[in-house]
Amino acid sequence: MEVPWESVDLLETHAEISIRDHVAHKRFTLVYRTRSKGSIWLQLTLEPGQRVVRASYRTLAGAPGTIWMEFPLDPGIGRSEVVFETVEQLSPEHGFYRVETFNAFRDLLPLPLARRTVSVRIDSSLGVAGLFSPTHPVRVAYLDAQSATLRMDLRGAATVGRFRFFYALGKAAPPPTGPEAEVLAGSLPPADPERTGFERVFTEPRRFRLRRRASLRRLP
């Protein structure tokens, strides 16, 4: 699949996440601007247990664990959007479930976005506890023992960096601090060029130059 050389500005990213126990439904909106007309296809790598269930434009199945997604280009529009949704089975790590959103295009330096938002609701009959983010400032509210919400709304330099949050089910200790929090903050495995996290790839750079074959990867 050939991809033309195009220049695009990524302006904003928005993530709406609904979690029931350990199943996460994610809706992503990417706002971008282009100076060329046509369309490009980007290859996304899925996490184990994750699948795309809906997209605003065409998708094509790739190799196992990957999918190609179309990004229309029209400079006359000014601002364009791509919206897609995924379902993901989460697995516990160090007693917590880890959830992430997009971080950067492959091989490009992270740059600030005009805006980056995340809206999360978690529900579980087992109880929800220990909800926190070690990477960015967030607002956490416990609606009751079985429900909690997390909000993030950042602009400019504050949007840079891998965003992730953690939560626990059942009765759990308060969010960790000090060295233990640092372990969770850096708990991602090293980047693997053959299998990389698809939901960790979009948010940081505003401007990028596409190569002949476009693909995305998780930052190390």
* pTM for this entry: 0.76
Residue 102 maps to a domain: yes
Query: Is 60 exceeded by the pLDDT of residue 188?
Result: no
Residue 163 maps to a domain: yes
Query: Is 70 exceeded by the pLDDT of residue 7?
Result: no
Residues 109-153: pLDDT tens digits? 567 899 999 999 999 999 999 999 999 999 999 999 999 999 999
Residue 214 maps to a domain: no
Average pLDDT, the chain: 76
Residue 216 maps to a domain: no
- Domain with 133, as residue range(s), is 7-209
Residue 2 maps to a domain: no
Residue 215 maps to a domain: no
Please classify residue 142 by burial: count the beta carbons closer than 10 Å to its beta carbon, then call 0-12 exposed, 13-18 middle and 19+ buried: middle
Count: domains in the chain: 1
Residue 155 maps to a domain: yes
CATH code for the domain of 141 = 2.60.40
Residue 218 maps to a domain: no
